[in-house]
């Protein structure tokens, strides 16, 4: 007796559209402008935010090293997060292409790892923060072509002016 079940081949499946085709045109133009938007006083604001980020991060890591209580560390953690998010927001203002580049993905991974801090032991908190500082320093001082390596299709990048 012949089998009544048919095999589904990959050729019969509908093609999945690329991510960029799933975004409506109006939203796409806001997220990915044809030319990068420039944040006013970008250079100065970024330098101030970077300095603040380091200034908040140092007492946070030091406080964990010396076993400070959570209430003492919370303002330093909030300052570190807000200054880092400010830097990322300026990048996103220019274009949300940063979300699909190594630099943006690393920010999202760092935020996820920071969210783990309350659930870790003291030693693991310290280890995680030291790892994040080390990895962030390496990435922020790496070559531009690594930081800006994109995971969006080449066609999308060329359509919106983001190509090497």
The answer to whether 65 and 129 are in contact (CB under 8 A) is no
Instruction: Name the phi and psi angles at 101, rounded to 5.
Output: -105, 165
Residue 164: predicted pLDDT: 45
Each residue's pLDDT tens digit, 82-110: 999 999 999 999 888 888 889 999 999 99
pLDDT value at position 53?
A: 96
Sequence ranges of the domains in the chain = 38-153
Q: Which residues of the chain fall short of a pLDDT of 50?
A: 163-164
Q: Is the pTM of this model over 0.95?
A: no
Alpha carbons 144 and 142: distance in angstroms, whole number: 6
Residue 14's CB: how many other CB atoms inside 10 A?
Answer: 5
Written as one string, the DSSP assignment of 46-112 is: HHHHHHHHHHHHHHHHHHHHTT--HHHHHHHHHHHHHHHHHHHHHHHHH-GGGGGBHHHHHHHHHHH
């Amino acid at each position: 007796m012949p089998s009544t079940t048919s095999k589904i081949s990959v050729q019969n499946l509908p093609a999945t559209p690329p991510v960029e085709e799933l975004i409506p045109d109006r939203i796409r133009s806001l997220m990915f402008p044809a030319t990068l938007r420039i944040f006013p006083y970008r250079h100065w604001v970024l330098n101030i935010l970077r300095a603040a980020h380091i200034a908040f991060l140092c007492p946070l890591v030091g406080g964990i090293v010396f076993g400070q209580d959570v209430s003492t560390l919370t303002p330093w953690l909030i300052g570190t997060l807000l200054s880092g998010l400010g830097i990322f927001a300026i990048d996103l203002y220019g274009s949300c292409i940063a979300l699909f580049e190594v630099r943006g993905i690393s920010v999202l991974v760092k935020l996820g790892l920071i969210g783990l801090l309350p659930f870790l032991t003291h030693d693991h908190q310290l280890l995680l923060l030291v790892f994040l500082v080390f990895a962030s320093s390496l990435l922020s001082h790496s070559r531009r072509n690594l930081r800006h390596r994109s995971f969006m299709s080449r066609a999308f990048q060329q359509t919106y002016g983001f190509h090497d």
